[in-house]
Structure 1
Amino acid sequence: MSHDSFATRRKLEVNGKSYTYFSLPELARRLEADGTPAMPLSRLPYSMKILLENLLRHEDGGMTVGPEHIRAVANWDARLEPETEIAFMPARVVLQDFTGVPCVVDLAAMRDAVTRLGGRPSQINPLIPSELVIDHSVKVDVFGRPDALDLNGKIEFERNLERYAFLRWGQKAFGNFKVVPPNTGIVHQVNLENLARVVMEREVGGELLAFPDTVFGTDSHTTMINGIGVLGWGVGGIEAEAAMLGQPSSMLIPEVVGFRLTGRLPEGTTATDLVLTVTQMLRALGVVGKFVEFFGDGLQHLPLADRATIANMAPEYGATCGIFPIDGEALTYLRLSGRSEELIGLVEAYAKAQGLWHDADTPAATYSALLELDLADVRPSLAGPKRPQDRVLLEAVKDNYHQNLEGLTVNRKPKPKVALERLASEGGAQPQAEHLAARPVSRIRIQDQDADLCDGSVVIAAITSCTNTSNPAVMLGAGLVARNAVRLGLKTKPWVKTSLGPGSLVVTDYLRKAGVLADLEKLGFYVVGYGCTTCIGNSGPLPDEVSKGIAENDLVVASVLSGNRNFEGRVHSEVKMNYLASPPLVVAYALAGTVDIDLTREPVGKTADGKEVFLRDIWPSNKEIGDLIAATVGPELFAQNYADVFKGDTRWNQIASPEGESFHWDAASTYIKNPPYFDGMSMQVGTIDDIAGARVLGLFGDSITTDHISPAGNIKKDSPAGRYLVDRGVQAADFNSYGSRRGNDDVMVRGTFANIRIKNLMLGGEEGGNTLYHGAHGSTEKLSIYDAAMRYKTDGVPLVVFAGKEYGTGSSRDWAAKGTNLLGIRAVVAESFERIHRSNLVGMGVLPLQFCEGENALKLELDGSETVSITGLEDGASKTATVVATKPDGREHRFEVKVLLLTPKEVEYFRHGGILHYVLRQLAARKQV
């Protein structure tokens, strides 16, 4: 129990129970009595109050949290940049299977390692609730037919049987660890609809303790839970494992940006349009590493589902979190989603007692910076074609497509052109004549009809991702668009791969109850699975006819998806343009079949008698959507679908799994393997040494994402990972994906920097995961990045990477850091880093260094041919270092860089070789029982 230096422990009587809690109002009174110039509690941002309570509850006499840390947060000054380090301990952890499997692999490996160091396997065990939702493995192999859900589920279990057996072992072997089986929903939606407590209760030292629900998640969109007032954010699997094992997360007291919302959304706009607007605004301001809080009169017109949509996209606008307060709407949602009246009573009483409750009379907090948006100014929008922050007004999508098309076709070989009359079809807008004359077209035969595939053709239309599938307004809106289109006789274009991934079983139920699921199915939007699907690249193969048509003329085709990520190469390797859109617009673009259309002015299709149908003709009113929500979405749907959420179906329960505290590794497995991180590890702690004689493995530009570094999608047969699998007897049809094989380091290290769209400037910017290997006597050879790294490792040569701005943006996948480490890369020098990836690099013992303001590899005339030394690290004590890059002719380029070991704790982790090594040594050093 806490030391409680400020005597803030108080009792809260609610539901006939007596709860102990650490009172923020009492702390404010104590500080005022002491003469401490603390900010008034009412003016402290909501998220800072959560951090403050966390410190009060975990005060331990100064070993990790002392009175000075509590005072630092209470004295928070919005005008100052953060410089004080604090320790944050989440109440629980949520995981998804792509990132969760390697977490459980690491925990299993740590059980072996701690035994070798003299400890016991049971010392490696989650100390806080840790829940894994299997949602990333289902692919859209089958679509557009009634049995798509069943067949995709069958294929999913066949592909992932070994992984699922391993997770079932983990569920039995580890305490405080539960698994939500496949075909339940997407992790963040399940978290919002069921797992989130908002206020936790736990017995500690004989007392029943109440405290805020806080969470770390091994997926960047964990922030979705911020929509209901729960502070949480995405971390790498490495940091999540440390939290599960009782290690606090070291962080600087954050800056907090306030975002005032006023007014209400106008007719014809959706929460998707709102979040794309918010994302663009916050990206322009710059909120990387900061907290964002939403407040203002507009909250009263913003349903919880809309708030969750905004919170979900925090990684896209770059913030650590995007949080809303606890208020009456939060209680309404808890009741709607079937939470108990006991929990709802506790949430309300606790929030009001702690000054965490928000209503119309709540004064605005003080913030580091302030933005404001009148919801009435939001207009229909998409984002793309390759970044979620690149918002495009619906009316400008056609122009945006043409502006981006030129850059994507500059190297295309000339093909014979077809006559304009070939492009006449049964409905929808036709591409502009001036573009048609110079455009290649592929005639394909699909669904028993001839069709013309050309640049801009929408080949994937996916209602996917918890970002939007958690929101009844946009999901029922899509259903109403489908109903209206079907009534007018409109059909989806035959070349469009349609899919509906509802996000949870609840969504399917209310779509069916509303009577619109059948209309969606008539347009090809059959339920394909309960998982992220297209949003994470699990879009599955395109029909052979479409793939051949694309390849025939190197066409630049498009996808439209209701997801949160549209990075290059993520959605599908054959699709070069990807637009994020609301579910109703996904349906509309499936009808149109092209992004070469202005849906605000041109018809989406034609009726059987040739009458033009416009988007406005099939778009439902806000009232119509609201009435349908009220009539169909109720607590009974949530109660019945989450009644036994951890049980699973027959397929899940029939899986055989191993027994025992320690996992019995199968040397022949290509899915689950004991990783090499702890090989040869002793109790001796290392030092942070300078780097000499390093070679450049990669020279990259801006916005290199974790998808570029560690792709989640398909494994190419001729790639290093593909060759590895073939050598072990795995057929190409059984490769599965990189994401599904994250439990095997041999596959994943070969997939590091293997994205088909990554551009290594050492090779003039050509696409693909290759580099120039610099051998003895000045020889050079083009090799895959993996093959070059292994040669350098044999030569005993350390490696570095140079990159531009926003290095490591995207999903918080730990393998982007793990693979970097296993390739032998000692340091990454970039203009700026995404928060989670920088932390992951530190956690894996890879040094993140930042160019000084105004400098980058290009300005310093670096081309990757250099030999690099990095000096002045002073065992982690120095905040700067000197880089000397020596050209083959002996010329030196000398420049300073910032050392991004941001806290003393990070320096300590780095000396140990990484955070997991630190934890292992701490546990092994404890007296054995």
Structure 2
Amino acid sequence: MSKFKKSLNVGQKSYSYFSLNEAKAAGLGNIDKLPRSLKVLLENLLRHENGTTVTWDDVKAINEWAETRKSNHEIAYNPARVVLQDFTGVPAVVDLAAMRDAMVSLGGDPQKINPLVPVDLVIDHSVMVEHFGNKDAFEKNVEIEYERNAERYNFLKWGQKSFKNFRAVPPGTGIIHQVNLEYLADVVWTNEVNGELFAYPDTCVGTDSHTTMINGLSVLGWGVGGIEAEAAMLGQPVTMLIPEVVGFKLTGELKEGITATDLVLNVVEALRKHGVVDKFVEFFGPGLKVLSLADRATLANMAPEYGATCGFFPIDEKTTEYLRLTGRKEETIALVEAYAKEQGLWLSTEDADPVFSSIVELDMSTVEPCVSGPKRPQDKVQLRNAKSSFKEALTKTFGYSEDALRFEYEVEGKDFKMKNGNVVVAAITSCTNTSNPSVLMAAGLIAKKAVEKGLQTKPWVKTSLAPGSKVVTDYLMASGLQTYLDQLGFNLVGYGCTTCIGNTGPLPPAVSKSINANNLCATSVLSGNRNFEGRISPDVKANYLASPPLVVAYAIAGTMDFDMNKESLGKDKDGNDVFMKDIWPSNDEIQKVVAQFISGKMYETRYANVFEGDEKWKAVNAPDGETYKWDKDSTYIAHPTFFENIKDGLVESFEVKNASILALLGDSVTTDHISPAGNIKIDSPAGKWLTERGVAKQDFNSYGSRRGNHNIMMRGTFANIRIKNEMIPGVEGGYTKHIPSGQQMSIYDAAMKYKEEGTPLVIIGGKEYGTGSSRDWAAKGTNLQGVKAVITESFERIHRSNLIGMGVMPLQFLNGVTRKTLNLDGSEKISLTPIGSELAPKMQFELTITRADKTTEVVRVISRVDTVDELNYFKNGGILQYVLRNLNNSH
């Protein structure tokens, strides 16, 4: 809408922008009351208003939100850019390559398949902690990473050469969110169109749920499934309802000895209780001014754990200070400040608070040290209660006897014994904390004091340090603290997401053998954001999230059956007891080393040639050509089958007759339970498939690294070792009952058997189905196993969207009806009949249950295809088919 277009002069340049002040003058009188995250959405709509995909009514709906504080209005949001990590990025590039082939089959131009917005892929998910606790660990792990992932890296380099608007950040650089925070994000984005330079808010979507970390730098961004991200890359808007915005008011200051990790675990608990799924969270209040940018990024990072779409912080002096620290250009910083002040996006202490849908408040002075576990990020436990809480979980959650902590068990060839509760993994890892110098310096300081007192980590603990950025190594080395971390076994193992995503690597064989032979409840403590069942290690049952310094303390204690406030960590050189308070650094000590040893020069140097990579990356040989030459023998990269029906017509109706239930699942089934993640077991369907092709067990790698091969991934869907299918009570793992034969078998084998028999399938679930990471394979695998519909009590946002993107119908029970009120046991036949002749958003279906005794029951369910755009994707068989047909029909 050109009447809202104005000019802004900053330095020597003139920028065109779409003015919120002009929109206010044109009748949008509520703009000043809006949360700043909604102002970003409003500017996005103003800039893209075209009378069709974005209308003036959409713009007005955000203005009206200030009165109602909620809305059922659907909008089309166009992010400025897309970020990918390699686990989810590889299948995205595989799909783009397959779309080029499909375009050729339709007689179209394959060059039409290119990202239309800037795309950055950061290779950070492939390094595994094979080697640890020694100075060579990093080099050896990187060597193995390149050996194992040669096919994937060749393929990604082909993508970098073949696709326009696509850059790859090589392995060993850092974690995607850290690279985004320290380098990729600009806060205010610029783009030249026909010689005119435009400025607008930097926004992004990413194929990692923790994309939200960038909200700490005032960049509106969140995680989407790979499928949705691919569509955004190809110019499709993200369709969404205008969200409710929950204001999180921060007051007070953190007390002595309290970390940002303690704060974020309190925020996660509070917002989970409040309920923020599908909502924005925006932080405000006087407490913002005492939070560093890194602390803000820590809070924003864990938006998926509190269930929100994003956790947004407004632009202020902390934003521009951080941009300057990390070596951004002065003209960028000047533009950010001028633009934000002009558009009402700058936070000033005299500003009135925006209006919010609801408000949650936290006085930061009330935060105590804490951990979270043993199964979910929101299960916060005060550190003073950690010992008693673990004891309770051991019996009530994991089913051990009351005296289970008394017994000790031999470890072959070792001079120590194992017990229930032993910490066998202590990992400083993941994006949550490795954005934060204060907690990393704190870990270094606690290591220094521990070593000086003569303390050591326990011999059964696998220790590791996987920073989010090479800058972390620079400041830990400059301060001399890395030396002490090394002495406790926290040597550098790699730059990337390791333990937090299940790339923990194997435990030492003797430790693993003792755990499994004696059915021990081993534990892990990690500074990550995810501690779901079966995720960290197949040998570990109880997983706890903690701050980096606490990870070091637990590695010294060696057990969760330990009171950090009262029990001795060991003896000093004079035989005196050493307690945690004796080695815990003061806030002042931490701030001094942060101020002394971190400089902007470190960031400038590390990011000067970020896309070039090291000699290993430069040596990767990638093929040329606009279409990819698929290797039919590759076990990593395979031509997917999603576009086989591209020449067929659209889906105009949806009905299911006499489907079998493939799995009957409970509450909080995560995408980790559904999607292949972590290790590939040798006796699993995927393991058998690899073995048949001559791949040795040590070369299986992880499911994540093989996401480019649908043959592996469909076999690993619903194969998690901790998933519980209620069709077979008492059995854990990816099994089901094939009803016609009465046989118990893997879910994949049953799905294939039903496919042979021509039987459609459904999945039945409970509340919060699909929580967790934005794993597109949770939806792709569901599709490839022949599942037509997933029927639950409620869905998490990203997974619901992904199911639609793969042509699987998400349905929700109505009026308190659940699998339990219906007494389902999985033997029933399910039919779905639409109420009404045409497919429509949120339409209802009759669900007919036919039981084994031939009696029937009919209830209603509602489609969670919520919007018209989502319906178009579903009718096309998926979002990529929709995009492909549109691109082929465009001129």
Match of 2:501 among 525, 531, 536: 536
1:747 alignment partner, SS class: helix
Paired residues of 1:223 and 1:234 also in contact (CA < 8 A): yes
Of 697, 701, 723, the match for 2:666: 701
Using the TM superposition, give the Cα deviation of residue 780 of structure 1 relative to its aligned residue in structure 2, in angstroms.
1.5
Residue 415 of structure 1: aligned partner: none
Q: Find the aligned partners of 1:687 and 1:409 in 2 and give their Cα distance.
A: 48
Cross-structure match for 1:732: 697
1:214 counterpart residue number: 203
Q: Distance in 1 between matches of 2:275 and 2:676?
A: 26
Aligned counterpart for 1:344 among listed residues 321, 333, 343: 333
1:435 CA displacement: 4.0
Partner of 1:750: 715
- The corresponding residue for 2:186 is 197
Structure 1 residue aligned with 2:44:
54
Partner of 1:68: 57
> What is the identity, as a one-letter code, of the residue corresponding to 2:784?
L
Task: Identify the residue that residue 772 of structure 1 maps to in structure 2.
Answer: 737
In the alignment, which residue of structure 1 is the partner of 2:35?
45
Cα distance in 1 for partners of 2:815, 2:157 equals: 49
1:559 is aligned to 2:524: yes
Partner in structure 2 of residue 903 of structure 1: 867
Instruction: Give the alignment's TM-score, normalised by structure 1.
Output: 0.95
1:894 corresponds to which of 848, 858, 862: 858
What 5-or-longer segments of structure 1 have no aligned partner? Answer: 33-37, 413-433
Residue 876 in 1 paired to residue 839 in 2?
yes
Give the partner amino acid of 1:902. Answer: D
Q: Identify the residue that residue 161 of structure 2 maps to in structure 1.
A: 172
The residue that corresponds to 1:26 in the other structure is 22
Report the residue type matching 2:538 in the other structure.
S
Q: CA deviation at 1:853?
A: 3.5
Question: 1 CA distance for matches of 2:45 and 2:519?
Answer: 57
Paired residues of 2:33 and 2:66 also in contact (CA < 8 A): no
Decide which of 103, 114, 135 is 2:124's aligned counterpart: 135
1:662 is paired with a residue whose SS is coil
Query: Is the aligned partner of 1:443 residue 2:396?
Result: no
Within-5 A mapping of 1:51-450: 51-60=41-50, 62-77=51-66, 79=68, 81-407=70-396, 410=399, 435=403, 439-444=406-411, 450=415
**SS of structure 1 residue aligned to 2:249:** strand
2:618 pairs, out of 653, 661, 666, with 653
Q: Distance in 2 between matches of 1:288 and 1:236?
A: 16
Residues 1:799 and 2:758 are matched in the alignment: no
- TM-score, normalised via structure 2 length: 0.99
- The within-5 A match list for 1:416-495 is 435=403, 439-444=406-411, 450-495=415-460
Name the CA distance, whole Å, in 1 between partners of 2:70 and 2:821. 28
C-alpha displacement of 1:611: 1.2
Structure 1 segments of 4+ aligned residues over 4 angstroms from their partners: none
Q: Residues 177-226 of structure 1: CA distance to partner in whole angstroms, max 9, x if unpaired? A: 00000000000011001111110110013210000000000000000000
Q: CA separation in 2, counterparts of 1:917 and 1:765?
A: 41
Match of 1:572 in 2: 537
Q: Letter of the aligned partner of 2:107 in structure 1?
A: G
Asked if 1:921 is matched to 2:888, the reply is no
Q: Which amino acid aligns with 1:69?
A: D
SS at match of 2:635: coil
Instruction: Give me the whole-angstrom Cα distance separating, in 1, the residues matched to 2:105 and 2:534.
Output: 42
Following the alignment from structure 2 to structure 1, what is the Cα–Cα distance between the partners of residues 514 and 570? 23
Aligned to 1:826: 788
For structure 2, list consecutive stretches of 5 or more residues without a partner in the other structure.
none
How far apart are the structure 1 equivalents of 2:311 and 2:300? 5
1:107 partner amino acid: L
Instruction: Give the secondary structure class of the aligned counterpart of 1:677.
Output: coil
Task: Report the alpha carbon displacement of residue 409 of structure 1 after superposing the two structures with TM.
Answer: 5.1
Distance in 2 between residues matched to 1:262 and 1:269, nearest whole Å: 15
Counterpart of 2:807? 845
Kindly indicate whether the alpha-carbon contact (under 8 Å) linking 1:125 and 1:174 is maintained by their aligned counterparts in 2.
yes
> Out of 675, 690, 693, which is 1:710 matched to?
675
Confirm whether residue 516 of structure 1 aligns to residue 481 of structure 2: yes
> Structure 1 residue 681: deviation in Å?
1.6
Instruction: Single out whichever of 141-150 and 870-879 deviates more from structure 2.
Output: 870-879
Shift of 1:551: 1.6
On the 8 A contact 2:676/2:713 being kept in 1, the answer is: no
**Counterparts of 2:214 and 2:225, CA distance in 1:** 17
**Once the 2 structures are TM-superposed, how far is the Cα of residue 78 of structure 1 from its aligned partner?**
5.6
Please, which moves more after superposition, 80-89 or 124-133?
A: 80-89
Corresponding residue to 2:593 among 611, 621, 628: 628
Shift of 1:601: 1.2
CA distance in 2, matches of 1:80, 1:858: 35
SS of corresponding position for 1:274: helix
Q: Distance in 2 between matches of 1:680 and 1:870?
A: 23
Show CA shifts across 1:95-123 (max 9, x none). Answer: 00000000000000000001111211110
Alpha-carbon distance, 1:330 to partner: 0.4
For residues 778 and 131 of structure 2, the distance between their equivalents in structure 1, rounded to whole angstroms, comes to 30
Paired AA for residue 568 in structure 1: E
Structure 1 CA distance, aligned partners of 2:408 and 2:67? 57
Read off the aligned partner of 2:116 and give its amino acid letter: L
Q: Residue by residue, what CA displacement relative to the aligned partner does 1:49-93 show, whole Å, maximum 9, x if unpaired?
A: 000000011111x22001111111122146454211100010000
Measured in 2, the distance between the counterparts of 1:118 and 1:45 equals 48
CA contact (8 A) 1:78 1:256 kept: no
What residue is the counterpart of 1:722 in the other structure? 687
Deviations 1:332-391 (A, max 9, x none): 000011111010001001001100000211210000000111111111010000100000
Q: C-alpha separation between the residues in 2 aligned to 1:271 and 1:116?
A: 53
Q: Offset of 1:408 from its aligned partner?
A: 5.2
> What do the CA deviations read for 1:732-760 (whole angstroms, capped 9, x no partner)?
11110100000000000000000000000
Equivalent positions of 1:676-695 (< 5 A) are 676-682=641-647, 684-695=649-660
1:82–1:252 contact (8 Å) kept in structure 2: yes
CA spacing shift, 1:260–1:410, aligned 2, 3 Å: closer
**Structure 2 counterpart of 1:457, one-letter code:** N
Determine what percentage of the aligned residue pairs are the same residue: 58
**1:210 partner letter:** A
Partners of 1:912 and 1:408 lie apart in 2 by: 44
Q: CA 1:488–1:445 in structure 2 vs 1: closer, same or farther (change >3 Å)?
A: farther
Contact 1:273 1:582 in 2 (8 A): yes
Q: Provide the rounded CA distance (Å) in 1 between the counterparts of 2:212 and 2:638.
A: 31
Is residue 440–residue 553 contact of structure 1 (8 Å, CA) maintained in 2? no
Letter of the structure 2 residue corresponding to residue 720 of structure 1? P
Paired residues of 1:441 and 1:553 also in contact (CA < 8 A) = no
Q: Does 1:814 align with 2:804?
A: no
Letter in structure 2 aligned against 1:790? M
**1:594 paired residue number:** 559
Report the Cα distance in structure 2 between the residues aligned to 1:459 and 1:546, rounded to whole angstroms.
8
Cα separation, 1, equivalents of 2:880 and 2:399: 47
Contact 1:762 1:771 in 2 (8 A): yes
CA distance in 1, matches of 2:343, 2:529: 34
Deviates more, 1:635-644 or 1:766-775: 766-775
